[in-house]
Structure 1
């Protein structure tokens, strides 16, 4: 009986490892998902990295570096840190999704909805904002 339980436990571990590995490979091949893309965008704003924001924007030419610098300053003035934000997938339909970013500004909880879209197989920010709320 103990051998059967040990064999079953081994099989379950092997199955869990296979599922995890498959998920990792799929994510590597597909690139970052909607949440990771929005997280990268808020980090780019916080650091003032205009090129990083352009790299994940569906319309890179629409990204105004002066506006990115202004948002960076606003993040600093308000004490906003993307590492403390909460990111959740609010909606996903095919190649379009919306990510909810939740954060606190002056003690007040706020939400922003960020639209993302798949562009050439990669998730991109559909609309670049020049504000933080």
Structure 2
């Protein structure tokens, strides 16, 4: 895996490109009108994406299709600390579909505790917790 970063302006706007040519813009969140995500935003996006891919993959292998999957992620940082890393990350999985609750719960559990590389890497630095709602009802 390889990423190329290129500065686009005289401030903090960068273009990152992977080997496939996919582009993601990075910017400093303190800019008046940031034109990209901050690096810490990308970490939260990464854990949401990684775990969601796992959940969909696990359920597809069991012949279950979701109607909708959303994840809300919140990162909590230690104020005033340098570096200001995440100390806690909370994910809330919001799913909809005709899928047994036990299957959904197990798919999320497997992702968060075994398969999601981003989660496994981040748990060395932060406490990671999660909740699950299926069709509007809490199942964990």
TM-score when normalising by structure 2: 0.33
TM-score when normalising by structure 1: 0.34
Instruction: Judging by fraction of residues, say which structure has more strand.
Output: 2
Instruction: Judging by fraction of residues, say which structure has more helix.
Output: 1
Q: Which has the higher contact order (CA 8 A, sep 6+)?
A: 1
